[in-house]
Homo-oligomer: A and B are copies of this chain.
Amino acid sequence: MMKTLLAKPQWQRLFPILNWGAAYNRQDLGGDVTAAVIVTIMLIPQSLAYALLAGLPAEVGLYASILPLVAYAIFGTSRVLAVGPVAVVSLMSASALAKLGLETVSDYVAASSVLALMSGILLVAMGALKLGVIANLLSHPVIAGFITASGVLIAVSQAKHILGIKASGHTLIEILGSLGQGMGQVNLITLLLGLAVLAFLFWLRRGLSDLLQTKLNMSKQMAGTLVRIGPVFAVIGTIALSWAADLPSFGVSVVGRVPTGLPPLGLPQLNSSFLTALIGPAVLITIIGYVESVSVAQTLAAKRRQKIDPNQELTALGAANIASALSGGYAVTGGFARSVVNFDAGARTPAAGALTAIGLTFAAIYLTPYLYFLPTATLAATIIVAVLSLVDLSILKTAWAYSRADFAAVFITVVLTLLLGVEIGVGAGVATSIALFLWKTSRPHVAEVGQVPGSEHFRNIDRHQVLTNPALVTLRIDESLYFANARRMEELILERVHQGKGELRHVVLMCSAVNEIDLSALESLEAINHQLSDLGIRLHLSEVKGPVMDRLKRSHLLQDLTGEVFLSQNCAFQKLTSLSDP
């Protein structure tokens, strides 16, 4: 009985569909269907394009936009998040697989699925262990720097499709070098087509939205949605042109034969020797994908006073990636642009995602024959326009203005991502953020304080006119005491005592800003107590916080302390002054 009562919320937590599904009504269906139609139209060119970016056949992008959406609809806690292939994860997948040196396309497709499977298993495991907090190690500057640098890398990597040449590489220098070598073979018709599509897509973003709002009095949301499904017109137009003028015979690269229907479900087959090489990239794709997805979900949920469960999101994204791997797709996550479109188009529940999956299934079955003549330059132009909106170098300026430490983290992430690739870029950015945080907390602000005359306040002697006593030194430490600053604290106190010559009898540490004292700091306090005792100086503490005091009571420090623990700095000053004055 008890078990059943407890079990129900547990099931509802694991399957959020049980919550919203039970209350599903006709109004919800209306909103969801409209959103699904619009998102389907938007997703078709996007999923083909991102598959190209990941180095995969175009249809793999469609496969990755079907079952993952159904899985997310069952397990996800965001009502509007739209999952599927996204630019940054596609780039990371391509970069990871390039290192394996696979020879056939089918091996490459299988390896992409395996990578999605590993990422899915990692996400589910992190969800079960509630390890979503690991994503907190990615600071905003590192994410911003990484996204910007990835956007540049992706745009540059797609230039080869616009130019109609062969090029390769995964760092800025490699790609630019490779492009330079191929410049002799530029295909002029491809270039003209590519530039025309680019111009059209840029006009969609810049010009069309204004036009729709001013001339047709369209709402901003509506105009934004039309702009975002615009690329489908470029796709239709260039397919028609390519077919009518038989562009492939002029050397224009096209998507070519695409299998009709869906691939069979099943585990991807890959030589197990490649598995270890994929673990590192899988971890990184998992964390980056999760951070991107949760940020989008949280932003949109807050707009409707809804909330998401970050740990359940791990399970949901894990299920989506596993579903992708089992159905011939590759790594997926929640995407920003498509989720915003879904939201603006009126999606009310995750059923919109499941309906979008139905739309894409139709596309995979009935539309694929028409993709034969689609120029890859069209898809490349779609990618370039999409990722250039991610490039935001102003983060460098913002960070520089706000703090040098944050600037260092962005700068290192941007430069190393461009020059050495995405994995080293993010790794170095995270390491820099952590190192700078440790550095800052290892050099806490320490002030020698004295009494503000006629008050119970104690302030920095360097900034205020305060009363002091040569027999007494009070140091206020503005940081928790832990291993990285314990030794510095010892040095500072001994340094100050060294200046104090013979008169000094009491040292007081004012602990009002000390949120924690770890074992290293405790042992440093014991050492200082002992060393001061050898010099005939007593060590006191004042304003120790409750939780810190509780912990100190479990140690020997309070018994061994030569001085006292004062409730307030004022008590300490009054008593020690009266003791030292004759």
Tell me the A residues contacting B by CB distance below 8 Å: 133, 135-142, 298-299, 302-303, 305, 307, 310, 398-399, 401-403, 405-406, 433-434, 437-445, 478-480, 482-488, 490-491, 494-495, 497-498, 513, 515-516, 518-520, 522-524, 527, 531, 534-535, 547, 551, 554-555
Q: Tell me if B522 and A402 are in contact (CB < 8 A).
A: yes
A518 contact set on B, CB distance < 8 A: 139, 403, 405-406, 437
- Contact status A140-B520, CB under 8 Å: yes
Bound CA–CA A214/B519 (angstroms):
37
Contacts of A133 in B (CB 8 A): 439, 442-443, 488
Pair A531/B139 contact, Cβ less than 8 Å: no
Which residue from B139, B302, B519 sits with its C-beta under 8 Å from A141?
Answer: B519
Q: Is the CB of B516 within 8 A of A440?
A: yes
| 8 Å CB contact of A140 from B303, B433, B478, B523 | B523
CA distance A515 to B476 in the complex (A): 13
Neighbour of A531 across the interface among B303, B399, B406, CB < 8 A: B303
Provide a sorted-by-A list of 9 A–B residue pairs whose CB atoms are within 8 angstroms. A133-B443, A136-B484, A136-B488, A139-B519, A302-B534, A398-B519, A403-B551, A441-B480, A444-B515
Interface of A is mostly: helix
Give Cα A531 to B479, complex, Å. Answer: 31
Contact with A498, one of B140, B142, B305, B531 (Cβ below 8 angstroms): B305
Contacts of A402 in B (CB 8 A): 519, 522, 551, 554-555
Contacts of A141 in B (CB 8 A): 483, 519-520
Distance in angstroms between the alpha carbons of A299 and B494 in the assembled complex = 11
Q: Are A401 and B299 in contact (CB-based, < 8 A)?
A: no
Judging by beta carbons under 8 Å apart, are A519 and B442 in contact?
no
A488 to B136: give the CA distance in the assembly, Å.
Answer: 8
Q: Which 8 A-B pairs have the closest CB atoms?
A: A139-B483, A406-B519, A302-B531, A140-B520, A139-B520, A140-B523, A136-B484, A307-B498
B residues near A142, Cβ cutoff 8 Å: 483
Residues in B with CB closer than 8 Å to A305 are: 497-498, 535
Report the separation of the CA atoms of residues A482 and B440 in the bound assembly, to the nearest whole angstrom: 11
In the complex, are the beta carbons of B486 and A140 less than 8 A apart? yes
Q: How many angstroms between the C-alpha atoms of A515 and B515 in the bound complex? A: 11
**Known A-B contacts A310-B491, A485-B136; A403 and B434 likewise in contact (beta carbons under 8 Å):** no
- In the complex, A252 Cα to B398 Cα: how many Å? 74
Task: Kindly state the separation between the CA atoms of A521 and B37 in the bound complex, as whole angstroms.
Answer: 38
Known: A136-B485, A516-B440. A303 touches B534 (CB 8 A): yes
Complex contacts, A495 vs chain B, CB 8 Å: 307
Q: Which residues of B contact A551 (CB under 8 A)?
A: 402-403
Chain B residue nearest to A143 (CB atoms) is: B520
Bound form: Cα–Cα A566–B482 in Å: 31
Whether the pair A445, B483 counts as a contact (CB closer than 8 A) is no
**Which residues does chain B contribute within 8 Å of A491, judged by CB atoms?**
298, 310
Q: Shortest Cβ distance from A392 into chain B, in angstroms?
A: 12
Taking the closest CB of chain B, its distance from the CB of A330, in whole angstroms, is 27
A377 to B401, CA, bound (A): 66
With beta carbons under 8 angstroms apart, the residue of B137, B302, B401 that contacts A554 is B401
- Which residues in B have their C-beta under 8 angstroms from that of A513? 513, 515
B residues less than 8 Å from A444 (CB atoms)? 515
* Chain B residues, CB < 8 A from A515: 444-445, 478-479, 513
A301: nearest residue on chain B (CB-CB)?
A: B494
- Please give me the residue from chain B that is nearest to A295 by CB atom: B487
B-chain residues with CB within 8 Å of residue A523 when the two chains form the complex = 140
Residues of B within 8 A of A138 (CB): 483
Contact residues in B for A137 (Cβ distance below 8 Å) = 438, 483-484
B-chain residues with CB within 8 Å of residue A527 when the two chains form the complex: 299
